[in-house]
Chains A and B, each alone.
Chain A
C-alpha cells in the first residue's frame, strides 16, 4: 500500500470557546468509500471543510491526496472534488454553463472541456439537460449536477457532505450507483450522511458525536463489537399491546418498535424463540412471526453513543 488518500492526525477546530471538532485521527485508503456518521452538529461538516482547505484547523494536521492541507492547499484543491452540504451551483444559469464554469475553474479548456462535460453528464444521468435552468431542476437532478461539477477534473478524492439530504429514495439509489462506480474506478470517497442505511454502502465508517470520533471500523466489525448477542424481528398484528410481555422475557437486552414490528436484541444463551412467540400471542398479538435479523447500524450507533457518553 502506498500513501493513504486521507490522513488526519489530531485534527481539531474551535469556534471561539466552542470545540466543534475534538482532535480526530483517521486514515482513508485510496479507492475506499469512507462514511462519516453523526447527528446534526456533531462536527462532520467542520471536519470536511478542514480537509478541503476551506477552514484552518485549530490543532493537528491532515494530508489529502499526498499533500499537506496547511502547506499545499493549492495542490490539495486541484486533487479533490467537494460537494457542499448546501446546494451551491448557479441556479440562474443553465446546466451546461455550470459545467462550463467549474470545468474552466479546474483549468480544463478547449475541446477537452465539452468532451469531459459530456462524459460526466452521461455518468451522472443528466443527458439532454444542458439547456435547462439549474434552478428549475428537481432536487435529485440538482444533486447529481453538483456531483458532475465536482468530478469534472477527475479528482483523486471526493468529499460529499450529506449529498442525499432532501432527496427522494429513488434519486438516492441512483446517486449511490454513481458513487460506487466512481469508487470502483479508483476515486476515494469521503461521505457524510445521517441516513444509516447509506452507511452500509461504505467500506468503513466513522461515528461522530459532539465533535469526537467515537468509533471507526467496517460496518460488520462495528456490529460485532457494539451489538453483542443477536437481533430478532417480531412481526405480526396488534403488537403495540404486547411490549410489556416481551420485555418480561428472559435474555432481552434491548427493545424498540421498528416499523410495524418489534426489534429485539437478545442474549443468545437465554434466548428462547418459542417462549417469546407464545408470550406475544398471549398478550394479544396475531399472526406472529419471529425471525433472526442483522443488527442495524442504528443499533451500533445507539450502543456506541451509550458507551461514549459516560466516558465523556
Chain B
C-alpha cells in the first residue's frame, strides 16, 4: 500500500462520516482522483446560488506533496470568477504550491480554504494575463511557478 493510499483511506472514511456545510463528496472511486462540490455559505453576489466542482489529483507522495486541485467546468458547474482563479480552472493559491503546502493539510481543509477564498472576494475579475495564460499554458498546475503576490484576496 502506498504512502498516499493509507492516508487517503483514513481521510475518506472521515469524509464519508461528515463534511462541513457547503462541501460535498461527488466521487472517490480510487486513490488518484476525487471530485468534490463546494459552495459559499454567505450571500456574496458573485457566487450566490452556484455550486463549483473541484478535481483533486493525488500523487503517490501525497500528503508530502500537495495534491493538484483545479475547478472543472460542466454545464451546471461554472468556474468561479476570482482574481486568483484562471478561466481554465487553475488556482493560484500558495497553500497548493510546494512552498506553502504542509502535509498536515488535507482534502477537507483545502475545500474550506477555497470556500473562504471565494467568500472573502468582492472583485469580479480574472487574474492579470488570464487570456494569454489560458491560451499558452500546457503545464500541469504543480509545475507552474505562481508568484503569490497577494494572499489577502
Q: Does A associate with B in a complex?
A: no
